[in-house]
Amino acid sequence: MLQSNMISSEDFAKQIRIQVLEMVHKANASHVGGALSMADILAVLYDGVLNIDPLDVKNEQRDRFLLSKGHACTGLYAALALKNFFPLKDLEQYAADGSKYLSHTSHMVPGVEISAGSLGHALPVAVGVALAGKRKNATWKVICLVSDGELNEGSNWEAILFSPQQKLDNLILIVDYNKIQSLGFVKDVIDLEPFKSKFESFNWDVFEIDGHNHTQINDALLKCNQKNNKPKVIIANTVKGKGVDFMENQILWHYRAPNADQLKTAIQNLNN
């Protein structure tokens, strides 16, 4: 079982963000904005919601968490390291030559269920895992976290259309709705609105929340435990680059890595 740290989940989220910034700075890597936007969701998930034992990551009874927005894997690696799935020092190997810590989520990393990098892949797989859970009358749940831009991919909508048919109420989809995708604002590329009613019309239970408010994240995840034959989606309204003022809502920080000065400023920002 995951042990809750002696710190609050908010502090855990801050630590995730600091590790993310350190990693992308050291590796001069992209995608910091999307890792910061989902940090609070990861913090709540790994601070007691997910039933996963860092010492027994393949336990049959565990909850399955599949991160689909693999480009934001720094957030997941940080959460796992901070929860002792592997040594925190390993994060220094992120994107380094010969490292297993690829800059898209790698299933070679302890605690990672699935490699992801090509968008629109993990949700159909999560649906398959949930279907297996149903066929086995299992009590564990499946949680899949996708980006908003990723919902341009048709494969996701095949899975979204399919899931209610099989009554997959053991499946929770979380959308990190940070309103920005690779080349522009979501509303300008392919608008997802009306978003909530889209999912409702697909026969999903929808919970729309502030994806940085830990109480709301927790409450929504609790509501998702309801066994009513419907898959659940949490639309988490988030801010890309959340927590670092000069990164917030900036397309540039989908690509840029902070230099040493920017890293220092960013961490100060988080600590204030």
Partner 1 sequence: MRTAFIEQLIEEAKVNDKVFLLVADLGFSVIEPFAELFPDRYLNVGIAEQNMAGIAAGLAMEGYCVYIYSIGNFPTLRCMEQIRYDICYHNLNVKIVAVGGGYAYGSLGPSHHATEEFGMLRTIPNMVICAPGDPREARLLTTFATKHNGPCYLRLGKAGEPLVHKSEITEPLLLGNILKVANGSECAVFSTGAMLKYVTDFVNDNKLDASVYSFPFIKPIDVQFLLPLFKKYKKIITIEEHQASGGFGSAILEYANEMLNDAQIEQIPFIKRIAIKDKFYSTSGSQQYLRNLAGLTLDVADFNV
Q: Report the interface residues with partner 1, using CB under 8 A.
A: 107, 113-115, 117-118, 120-121, 123-133, 135-136, 154-155, 158-159, 161-162, 165-166
**Least distance in angstroms from the C-beta of 167 to partner 1:** 12
**Least distance in angstroms from the C-beta of 96 to partner 1:** 21
Q: Of partner 1, Mg ion, none, which one sits near residue 150, judging by CB under 5 to 8 A according to partner kind?
A: none
CB atoms inside a 10 Å sphere around CB 215: 11
**Least distance in angstroms from the C-beta of 43 to partner 1:** 26
The secondary element (H helix, E strand) that includes residue 171 is strand 171-177
Query: Look-up: residue for tokens 């302890």?
Result: 110
Query: Look-up: residue for tokens 């680059």?
Result: 241
Q: Of Mg ion, partner 1, none, which one sits near residue 178, judging by CB under 5 to 8 A according to partner kind?
A: Mg ion
**Least distance in angstroms from the C-beta of 13 to partner 1:** 29
Q: Of partner 1, Mg ion, none, which one sits near residue 223, judging by CB under 5 to 8 A according to partner kind?
A: none
CA distances from 226 to 165, 208, 229, 249, 258 (A): 17, 16, 9, 34, 42
**Least distance in angstroms from the C-beta of 128 to partner 1:** 2
Binders in 178-217 for Mg ion, by CB under 5 A? 178, 180-181
For Mg ion, the closer CB: 22 or 176: 176
Q: Of partner 1, Mg ion, none, which one sits near residue 147, judging by CB under 5 to 8 A according to partner kind?
A: Mg ion
Any residues with CB less than 8 A from the CB of 117 and at least 6 apart, and which?
70, 71, 102, 104, 105
Write the DSSP string, 231-270: -EEEEEE--TTTT-TTTTT-GGGGT----HHHHHHHHHHH
- What residue ranges bind Mg ion (CB under 5 A)? 147-149, 178, 180-181
